[in-house]
Amino acid sequence: MKGLFKSKPRTPPEIVRQTRELLILFTNPNSTLRESKREEKMAELSKNIRELKCVLYGNSESEPVAEACSQLTQEFFKEDTLRLVIICLPKLNLEARKDATQVVANLQRQQVQSKLIASDYLDANKDLMDVLLSGYDDTDVALHYGAMLRECIRHQCVAKYVLESEQMKKFFDYIQLPNFDIASDAAATFKELLTRHKSTVADFLAKNYDWFFAEYNLKLLESPNYITRRQAVKLLGDMLLERTNSGVMMRYVSSKDNLRILMNLLRESSKNIQVEAFHVFKLFAANQNKPPEIVGIFITNRSKLLRFFGDFKLDKEDEQFEADKAQVIKEIASLEPRDSS
């Protein structure tokens, strides 16, 4: 007889709807739940979020089922469940925050009839990115919001919005936060923004060249923090060597101030920074249309540069590095003064 009264398993859409109802309850400023009832409902919410994660990721006993994932995804984006999850995240306990972050991350990749419906939802609700970005100011949710943000940046419309927002400028400060974990997370998001969607990035850099590289040079490449400098010069090389950024690269390597910064980075005691700086420095040397002031700097420092590169070696033999170095030496050695008029 006991089996007759066994509760029927909830379908994925039912779990989403019940989760949504609980999220509305906790985001309602007029809610008057007693403390004991609040704890009970919060435990129920945490359980629901964990079940959503199990549907999407599977568990130790079973793999995720495509149809169940599709149903869950459709119901999740039918109404504002994502908004409610993001807003309610600070109220959740640590485990529920982790589960919610994984749910949001997975949903960005779920296709329904070969379509990423998360992209359409976010395109119509871009203001949610402002909430996620502001999470870097809150140590309790920074890593969770940061992880969600990187997954949302998978969608080009989202990346474009973030790049063009005023919040973009805050990354130069977030990357230097004293909390190492949050600073590293911000740096990872910053890199994702500047490397994932190549045409969008190229357009952004072209339109925002002056302020962006002024901040990049001052706050990142000349940062007193070793990790910040190392990550920044590596990312700079990745950006400038990207074919779609060729116009930006030519502009960057035509600046004597930029050359000065790279030459200082070559003088660092860290071999890692020296090597990454070299990959950018070689672009200055390879430029066949060097402005006279760039040529002048090379000629003034020619003997020091040739001596430096003559001694500059990697710990492991690298044919491409040696070839690049030989080309740089050849370029510098052959330079003649140019008329600046």
Query: Given this model, what pLDDT does residue 137 score?
Result: 95
Q: Report the alpha-carbon distance of residue 120 to residue 196 in Å, rounded.
A: 19
Helix (H), strand (E), coil (C) string for 72-96: HHHHHHHCCHHHHHHHHHHHCCHHH
Q: Residues 6 or more apart from 124 whose CB is under 8 A from it?
A: none
State how far the Cα of 94 lies from the Cα of 144, in Å rounded to an integer. 10
The residue that leads in pLDDT, 268 or 6, is: 268
DSSP-derived 3-state class of residue 115: strand
Domain ranges for the chain:
9-124, 197-340
Q: How many CB atoms lie within 10 A of CB 145?
A: 26
Averaged pLDDT for residues 278-304? 95
Give me the mean pLDDT over the 12-35 stretch: 86
Average pLDDT in the 251-267 region? 97
pLDDT, tens digit (0-9, with 9 covering 90-100), for 128-152: 999 999 999 999 999 999 999 999 9
Looking at residue 145, what is its pLDDT?
98
What distance lies between CA 131 and its chain's CA centroid?
16
How much is the average pLDDT of 242-255? 96
> How many alpha carbons fall within 13 Å on the CB side of residue 134?
8
pLDDT at 130: 96
User: Looking at residue 338, what is its pLDDT?
Assistant: 66
Q: Tell me the pLDDT band of 5, cut-offs 50, 70 and 90.
A: low
pLDDT at position 2: 52
Indicate whether 231 pLDDT > 70. yes
- Report pLDDT for 27: 84
Q: Which of 64, 61, 68, 103 is nearest to 82 (CA)?
A: 103
pLDDT given for residue 315 in this prediction: 81
pTM, two decimal places? 0.91
Q: Quick one: pLDDT band at residue 31, thresholds 50, 70, 90?
A: low
Q: Please tell me the predicted confidence (pLDDT) of residue 7.
A: 65
Whether the per-residue pLDDT at 17 is higher than 80: the answer is yes
> What average pLDDT does the structure give for the chain?
93
Confidence at residue 177, expressed as pLDDT on a 0 to 100 scale: 94
- pLDDT tens digits, residue range 91-119? 999 999 999 999 999 999 999 999 999 99
Q: What pLDDT was estimated at residue 255?
A: 97
Per-residue confidence at 72, pLDDT binned at 50, 70, 90? very high
Place of tokens 């909390």: 179
Distance CA 256, CA 295 (A): 9
pLDDT at 35: 73
d(CA 163, CA 195): 12
Two tokens, residue 134: 């502001």
Q: Evaluate if residue 1 carries a pLDDT over 80.
A: no
pLDDT surpasses 80 at 80: yes
User: What proportion of the chain, given as a percentage, has pLDDT over 90?
Assistant: 86
Average pLDDT of 61-68?
91
Structure confidence at residue 61 (pLDDT): 82
Q: Give CB contacts under 8 A, 24+ apart, made by 177-186.
A: 177/136, 179/139, 179/142, 181/143, 182/136, 182/139, 182/142, 182/143, 182/146, 183/228, 184/227, 185/136, 185/142, 185/143, 185/146, 185/147, 186/136, 186/146
CATH 3.40.605.10 matches 197-340: no
Digit-coded pLDDT (tens) for 46-63: 999 999 999 999 988 889
pLDDT at 335: 87
